[in-house]
A = this chain, B = another copy of it.
């Protein structure tokens, strides 16, 4: 398992309900891909959303987000954290 930070662009105007629904959808299927989303942060002004996960691979993170209808634009392996 490794840590990943993924980024979604283009979510300008995202409402709290849409954010919650999208995150809940990820949590509902993450286990099938061996992923766990620990946190998510949304900036609806810029439209950027950041998700922190523990996962076996970047592809597993991508698959969860694709299955729930909001593909990630970037998936970053986290080499160091503090």
Contacts and interface: CB of A to CB of B under 8 A. Distances in A.
Interface of A: 3, 5, 14, 16, 19-20, 23, 39-46, 48, 50, 52, 74, 76-82
A82 B48 contact: no
Task: Name the prevailing secondary structure of the A interface residues.
Answer: strand
Contacts of A41: 3, 5, 52, 76, 78, 80-81
Contacts of A82: 19-20, 23, 39-40
A71 to B, nearest CB: 17
Contact of A78 (B20, B42, B52): B42
A78 B41 CA distance: 6
A48 B76 contact: yes
